[in-house]
Amino acid sequence: MLIAIDAMGGDNAPASNVEGALAAAAEYTDTQIVLVGDEAKLTPLLTGRPSNLTIRHASEVIEPEDEPVKAVRRKKDSSMVVAGRMVREGEAEAMISAGNTGALMTTGLLVVGRMEGIERPALAPMIPTLDDVGVLALDLGANMDAKPQHLAQYALMGSLYRSKVHGIANPRVGLLNVGTEPGKGNELTKEAYPLLEALPGINFVGNVEARDVLTGNCDVLVCDGFAGNILLKSLEGTAGAMFSLLKQQFSKSLKTKLGAAMLMPELRGLKGKLDYKEHGGAPLLGLSGLVVKGHGSSDGNAIKNAVRQARIALKADLVASISKEISGK
């Protein structure tokens, strides 16, 4: 298999992307990895390059502040667009980018192409849960507005992803809402509820409140991108604030410092559970090719894990499975 990495995308590019690509190429020797970006900037970083790692030159970069649609249409030789074109034309089986989320969504729609039967692709990251299984949540930011039928499509795609990629039999699907009763919520969730309930082959468990997401009461959480992104950012902010408070408390005296030293292994494990770098990235489900979105501040480890995630999805034939289920062909 061949996976293209947008080497110029992300806060720590290109160094983090090169580091992750080198680590992935060394571990996954059966996978061809292509770094797409400015060859003059990438080559000096590639010391001891393995034979399954190559460079595809791209002269332009889509910046974080660029307007997505204009950038994708005007910067046709940008690393992100070139990687997307490789997927569309069959040169690559998947692409990974930690760059501009809006631009990647636009690249997915305009360059890679939408899957037949899908109106709105969805960003589907994993949210860690207390039982270590995690919940796949979609959409968490690709589309700020959604219609009830879009949420039904998210439920189908999310259920297939958890089944195919994570091996969960009959994954539980929940609808993010302000209460668990069927009649709760706004017009969107009220109309979406019976659609999810009627979906054949979907294990719909009803409404799920935000406070219960981390307890692992569903395997797939469905919501519109506006509410989903607020949920994600709230969880990230809360986790960061909690660790900052713990650090302050443990630094107050010799006694608390000794206590911190004893608890350090457990605290590191807890932090690892909540670390986006361990999950690698979030797939954009609903496109005709596999596109994985890495966190903007991804380091080398996150990029390597994104490659691992892409490999699992490719081996499970995820895109074809979703397409078959949605189109009925």
243 located within any domain: no
* 3-class state of residue 213 by DSSP: helix
Picking from 188, 212, 232, the residue at the C-terminal end of a domain is 232
Q: Tell me the C-alpha distance between 164 and 29, whole Å.
A: 23
Confidence of residue 274 (pLDDT cuts 50, 70, 90): low
State the pTM of this model.
Answer: 0.86
188 located within any domain: yes
Q: Which domain holds residue 143?
A: 123-232
CA angle (96, 100, 102) in 5-degree steps: 105
Query: What does the CA dihedral 91, 96, 101, 102 come to, rounded to 10 degrees?
Result: 10
Q: How far is residue 99 CA from its own chain's centroid? A: 12
246 located within any domain: no
Mean pLDDT, rounded, for 112-127: 89
Asked if 189 and 95 sit in the same domain, the reply is: no
Per-residue pLDDT reduced to its tens digit, 199-251: 998 999 999 999 999 888 999 999 999 999 899 888 878 877 877 787 787 78
Asked if 22 and 114 sit in the same domain, the reply is: yes
Asked if 54 and 129 sit in the same domain, the reply is: no
Judged by phi (left if over 0) then psi (alpha if -120 to 50, else beta), residue 202 lies in beta
Confidence of residue 328 (pLDDT cuts 50, 70, 90): low
Asked if 148 and 99 sit in the same domain, the reply is: no
Mean pLDDT, rounded, for 32-39: 97
| H helix and E strand count, the chain | 11, 12
Asked if 145 and 98 sit in the same domain, the reply is: no
CB atoms within 10 A of CB 9: 30
Asked if 91 and 15 sit in the same domain, the reply is: yes
Contact 188, 148 (CB under 8 A): yes
Asked if 175 and 140 sit in the same domain, the reply is: yes
Number of domains the chain is built from: 2
Any idea which of 43-52, 72-81, 119-128, 257-266 has the lowest mean pLDDT? 257-266
259 located within any domain: no
- 225 by Cβ neighbours in 10 Å (0-12 / 13-18 / 19+) ranks as buried
Asked if 206 and 108 sit in the same domain, the reply is: no
274 located within any domain: no
Helix-strand-coil percent breakdown of the chain, rounded to 5? 50, 15, 35
Asked if 52 and 143 sit in the same domain, the reply is: no
What local confidence, expressed as pLDDT, does residue 276 receive?
A: 52
* 3-class state of residue 7 by DSSP: coil
Asked if 144 and 83 sit in the same domain, the reply is: no
Residue 278 confidence (pLDDT) above 70: no
CATH number for the domain that contains residue 216: 3.40.718.10
134 located within any domain: yes
Asked if 152 and 224 sit in the same domain, the reply is: yes
Asked if 152 and 46 sit in the same domain, the reply is: no
Token duo for residue 112: 């890679």
Q: Is the dihedral of CA 79, 300, 227, 179 positive or negative?
A: positive
Contact 313, 290 (CB under 8 A): yes
Residue 296: name the closest of 243, 233, 206 by CA: 233
3-state secondary structure 290-307: EEEECCCCCCHHHHHHHH
260 located within any domain: no
Token duo for residue 35: 């770094």
Q: Tell me the C-alpha distance between 148 and 195, whole Å.
A: 8
> What does the DSSP 8-state code read for residue 32?
E
Strand-pair partners of 35: 5, 55
Token duo for residue 124: 């589907």
275 located within any domain: no
Contact 188, 139 (CB under 8 A): no
